[in-house]
Amino acid sequence: MKRSLLLPLAALLALASSCGRFRDYGTVIEGNRLMRSGHYQDAAAAYLSVRPAGFGAVLSYDLANVYARLGETEAAQALYDEVRKAGNAGLSEAAYYNEGILLYEKGRYAEAYKAFRAALALMPRDEEARRNLELAWRDWQKRRAAAPERAAPTERADNGASEEDIRLLRRLETGRFRSGSSAPSTPAPDDY
């Protein structure tokens, strides 16, 4: 009789001591569901409410993915770095891959290329990473070959024309600019 009571009592004590852990598992699963359904802020709140002790790099990875979807690039990158330091090759490859996606979406093609390359170093047969590496390379090279006007739009006025272009157009319109011509600088009577 004593043995039959002792076993359920021990199971009940073990269950009570690990209740917080079971609750955390449920919260992580709920966070994953919220992430898949596009409720990123709710997913972040769920992940942040979990005690990281038992989850470590996996929880950091999940939270980094949420931050990436929310556009919090720096926070996501910091967590991806934390995941890679944990030493799990599968998670490290996924962190490099997802960071590459994030950087590519932000137009940071050179950094995306490096992230995809690092992912392929860990998992050479990942065809999606290889394809994204090629896309990042292509777009990086396109950007490097872009005309200076397109590459540096900050030198332009609000309407897209530089001050030098506007001065040149004014000189052309008023007739004060005659390339290699000795004609008078006054406009012709039929000009308007």
Residue 154 DSSP label:
G
Which domains are present in the chain?
A: 9-174 (1.25.40.10)
User: Quick count: other Cβ atoms within 10 Å of Cβ 66?
Assistant: 25
- Rounded distance, CA 24 to CA 62, Å? 14
d(CA 177, CA 73): 50
Over residues 151-188, the pLDDT tens digits come to: 555 444 455 556 666 666 666 566 554 444 444 455 55
Positive or negative, the CA dihedral 118, 121, 123, 127 is positive
More confident residue, 171 or 58: 58
Band the pLDDT of 145: cuts 50, 70, 90.
confident
Give the separation between CA 47 and CA 58, rounded to whole angstroms: 10
Whether 116 shows a pLDDT value over 50: the answer reads yes
**Residue 11: pLDDT over 50:** no
Q: At what angle do helices 89-105 and 73-85 cross, to 10 degrees?
A: 160
Please give the average per-residue pLDDT across 83-89, as a whole number: 89
